């Protein structure tokens, strides 16, 4: 017993130390982000200095000792409005014309054409430099966002470790007894309970009869030992328990589980759909449903939408929040350049402990919830990913209840609906649809959308998720 208490106390000390180090790292990353932000300045326009430098270069190449119009020296005055007019005219038209020049210049200058050629050339070079500078600044903005989000993740994880409660003593005897009955010897055990009631168990054990058991079967034993709980082996843990001692990690599943179905159809004349989707378990007790519609159709649109989905998944699994993941992916696609086509992204994260859905949208059509009292529309944003640098994801939240359905569709399905108000037409259709198996529902929705027109005018994808309680209240 003394050895067991010592082990738990040592683990608590390690948690406190690790949490402190993580918080220090978070503060360092925040400091780096702030340092980057403090250094970034300037706007997206040519400046007064750019204009003066262009005039000086043109004068040096053409004017020589001539001072008839005195254009450069007159523009150096702080109250010179003409210089700002000249710069704005160049930005709007891409060149300076004779009518943009002062009357004195047009009347007195003997080398107007040569001077205008040099002035436009110098301003063109300044504009090109400004474009590269802005691109560099956007890259630095991306680094700042990443630093800040990483700092936020580390700080959040640090808080989780500090607030974790050691509940091993409460369940240790029951779990060891259950495992002993199935020829497994638990040598050491640690169970932690985090904020929100999520529990995690670390078991160091081995088989005692020479046979192997899967970690999945062992997780079911934990659920039998602890009433009204359901457990799974962690994906990064070992999968087979043998006679050699090993440590295994188990995480408690949520109160809810989800089933899903998908139905797809490519645009008429295309073999490959430009829509991409995913449905998978991300962080413990969280399910991710996502749908991306690449601009256009065919292989290129499919490649764009797949890239958006894959990047978002990777960030979510790493620990980024939904909002942070979408903002980072949008920035990456924006910096990809002109060859990158924009894509919409529709993301739903469902907490299987509470049943709360968080929907994040960038340019996606509405998500529909089919509940006990009819269908509900979760409105969408209107800007595709990779188009606007400062675009903010639209955040929507709703509590899901047992046997409700989440329906995500691409715009090809919505546009196929009859009438002018497409959202209301689809909502009415869902309210008349029987709430059955998610796959059957997805097939029915796609069949209806396909029947409205003779040929599919766009790619169509339907993703249906059904939420169900694991056990009654």
d(CA 366, CA 410): 9
Q: How far apart are CA 448 and CA 433, in angstroms?
A: 11
pTM of the model: 0.64
CA pair distance 461, 445, nearest whole angstrom? 10
Contacts of 28 (CB under 8 A, 6+ apart): 151
Domain ranges for the chain, please list them.
1-162, 164-252, 256-469
CB atoms within 10 A of CB 391: 20
Q: How confident is the model at residue 177 (pLDDT cuts 50, 70, 90)?
A: very high
Q: What is the pLDDT of residues 244-300, one digit of tens each?
A: 999 999 988 888 889 999 999 888 777 777 788 888 765 567 788 888 876 655 566
Question: Residues with Cβ < 8 Å from 172, sequence gap 6 or more?
Answer: 189, 191
What is the reported pLDDT for 385?
43
Using the 8-state DSSP alphabet, how is residue 372 labeled?
A: T
Mean pLDDT of the chain: 77
H or E stretch covering 241: strand 240-241
Overall average pLDDT of the 409-422 stretch: 89
Per-residue model confidence (pLDDT) at position 383: 42
| Start-to-end C-alpha separation, the chain | 36
The shares of helix, strand and coil residues in the chain, as percent rounded to the nearest 5, are: 45, 25, 30
Residue with tokens 């982000």: 33
**256-469 to CATH, choices 3.60.40.10, 2.60.40.1180, 1.10.3720.10, 3.40.630.30:** 3.60.40.10
What percent of the chain stands above pLDDT 70? 69
pLDDT digits (tens, 9 = 90+) for 425-472: 999 999 999 878 999 999 999 999 988 877 777 889 999 999 999 865
b (16+ CB within 10 A) / e for 15-39 = beeebeebbeebeebbebbeeeeee
Cα gap 368→330, rounded to integer Å: 24
Bridge-based pairing state of the strands 367-371 and 343-351:
unpaired
d(CA 189, CA 171): 10
Tokens of 14: 């390690």
Question: What are the φ/ψ torsions at residue 223 (nearest 5 degrees)?
Answer: -65, -35
Q: Which residues, other chains included, contact 183 with Cβ-Cβ below 8 Å and sequence gap of 6+? A: 207, 208, 209, 211
Which residue in the block uniquely carries the two structure tokens 């509470």? Answer: 354
């Amino acid at each position: 017993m003394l050895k067991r208490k010592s082990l738990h106390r040592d683990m608590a000390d390690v948690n406190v130390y690790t949490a402190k180090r993580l918080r220090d790292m978070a503060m360092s990353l925040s400091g780096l982000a702030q340092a980057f932000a403090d250094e970034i300045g300037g706007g997206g326009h040519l400046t007064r200095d750019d204009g003066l430098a262009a005039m000086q270069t043109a004068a040096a190449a053409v004017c020589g000792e001539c001072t008839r119009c005195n254009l450069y020296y007159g523009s150096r005055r702080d109250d010179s409005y003409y210089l700002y007019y000249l710069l704005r005219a160049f930005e709007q038209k891409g060149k300076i014309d004779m009518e943009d020049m002062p009357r004195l210049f047009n009347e007195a200058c003997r080398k107007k054409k040569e001077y205008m050629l040099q002035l436009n050339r110098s301003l063109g070079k300044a504009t090109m430099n400004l474009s590269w500078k802005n691109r560099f600044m956007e890259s630095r903005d991306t680094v700042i966002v990443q630093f800040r989000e990483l700092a936020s993740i580390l700080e959040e994880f640090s808080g989780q470790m500090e607030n974790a409660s050691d509940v091993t003593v409460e369940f240790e005897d029951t779990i060891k007894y259950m495992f002993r009955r199935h020829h497994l010897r638990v040598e050491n055990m640690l169970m932690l309970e985090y904020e929100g009631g999520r529990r995690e168990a670390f078991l160091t054990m081995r088989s005692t009869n020479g046979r192997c058991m899967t970690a999945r079967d062992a997780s079911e034993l934990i659920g039998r030992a602890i009433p009204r709980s359901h457990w799974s082996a962690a994906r990064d843990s070992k999968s087979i328990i043998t006679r050699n001692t090993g440590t295994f990690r188990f995480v408690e599943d949520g109160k809810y589980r989800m089933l899903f179905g998908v139905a797809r159809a490519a645009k008429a004349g295309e073999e490959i759909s430009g829509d991409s989707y995913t449905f998978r378990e991300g962080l413990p007790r969280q399910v991710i449903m996502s749908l991306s519609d690449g601009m256009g159709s065919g292989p290129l649109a499919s490649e764009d939408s797949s890239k958006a989905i894959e990047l978002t998944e990777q960030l979510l699994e790493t620990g980024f929040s939904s909002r942070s993941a979408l903002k980072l992916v949008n920035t990456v696609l924006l910096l990809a350049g002109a060859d990158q086509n924009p894509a919409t992204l529709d993301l739903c994260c469902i907490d299987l402990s509470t049943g709360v859905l968080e929907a994040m949208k960038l340019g996606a059509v509405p998500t529909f919830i089919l509940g006990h009292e009819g269908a509900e529309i979760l409105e969408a944003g209107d800007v595709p990913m990779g188009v606007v640098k400062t675009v903010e994801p639209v955040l929507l939240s709703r509590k899901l209840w047992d046997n409700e359905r989440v329906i995500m569709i691409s715009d090809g399905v919505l546009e196929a609906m009859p009438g002018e108000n497409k959202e209301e037409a689809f909502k009415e259709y869902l309210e008349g649809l029987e709430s059955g198996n998610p796959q059957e529902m997805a097939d029915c929705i796609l069949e209806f959308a396909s029947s409205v027109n003779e040929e599919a005018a766009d790619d169509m994808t339907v993703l249906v998720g059904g939420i169900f309680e694991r056990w009654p209240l």
